[in-house]
Amino acid sequence: MSLISNCPLCEEHGLHVFGEEEAQIMQCISCGYVSSTKFLGKKENNSEYQKLSDDMKKWAVEENNRIWIPTIITLPDGMLYPENDEDGKMTWKLASMVEISDKEKEHYPNPEGGYFTKRIDTENAKVHEKFIDGMNYLSNKTKENMEL
């Protein structure tokens, strides 16, 4: 089952609901928050919430008897993720996938015994105030690279 509805957090018509009962995921492509059946209830009583990092706990929101957390999306062309800015406000960062030079490759061994050829460039991530802006940029970049 798949459904698009209004998000209880940002009220935009961007909430995608996938799955049923025990395997339901709710993802808003407008504000970037996600919830699932493992995040039902309140923060203090939810074992999955207790496993989250301190930042995720700080960013988590309770709404409609669910805990909502910011999503992290990794695609072949980059990663969109939440991070605090210098004032402690959550923003969205977009880190592109970049080639690893022959000179750098020794720092990036892979489990098969060779070396990775690409990495996510978090050092030069672009900041987006809104999730949807970062998602649009990443989506357009992926489309461009598919056309090459």
At 6-42, the pLDDT tens digits run 999 999 999 999 988 778 899 999 999 999 999 999 9
Supply the pLDDT for residue 69: 98
On the question of pLDDT at 147 being above 60, the answer is yes
Question: Which band of pLDDT confidence, cut at 50, 70 and 90, is reported for residue 110?
Answer: very high
Supply the pLDDT for residue 1: 54
**Residue 118: beta bridge partners?**
99
Of 55, 61, 66, 60, give the one whose Cα is nearest residue 17. 66
**Whole-prediction pTM:** 0.85
* Sequence-distant (≥ 6) Cβ neighbours of residue 12 within 8 angstroms: 6, 28, 30, 31
CA dist 8 and 40 (Å) reads 14
Question: Which band of pLDDT confidence, cut at 50, 70 and 90, is reported for residue 142?
Answer: confident
Supply the pLDDT for residue 138: 83
**Residue for token pair 């960062």:** 93
Q: Which two tokens stand for residue 56?
A: 């995720």
SS3 content of the chain, % helix, strand, coil (to 5): 30, 35, 35
